[in-house]
Amino acid sequence: MRHWQTPLRSALPAVLALLCAGNAAASITVTDDFGNDIRLDKPARRIVSLSPHTTELLYAAGAGPYVIGVSNYSNYPPAALQAVSVGRISAVDIEKILTLKPDLILAWRSGNSA
Confidence of residue 91 (pLDDT cuts 50, 70, 90): confident
* pLDDT higher than 70, residue 105: yes
- Buried/exposed 72-100: b ≥16 CB within 10 Å, e otherwise: eebeeeeebeebeebbebeebeeeebeee
The ranges assigned to domains in the chain are: 5-106
Return the higher-pLDDT residue of 57 and 114. Answer: 57
Give the residue ranges of DSSP H helices in the chain: 5-19, 52-60, 94-100
* Better pLDDT: 113 or 5: 113
Residue 38 φ then ψ, to 5°? -110, 125
Q: Alpha-carbon torsion 34, 74, 68, 100, what sign? A: positive
Q: What is the pLDDT of residue 25?
A: 57
Architecture of the structural domain at 5-106: 3-Layer(aba) Sandwich (3.40)
Peptide bond into 77 cis (omega under 30): yes
The pLDDT confidence band at residue 110, using thresholds 50, 70 and 90, is: low
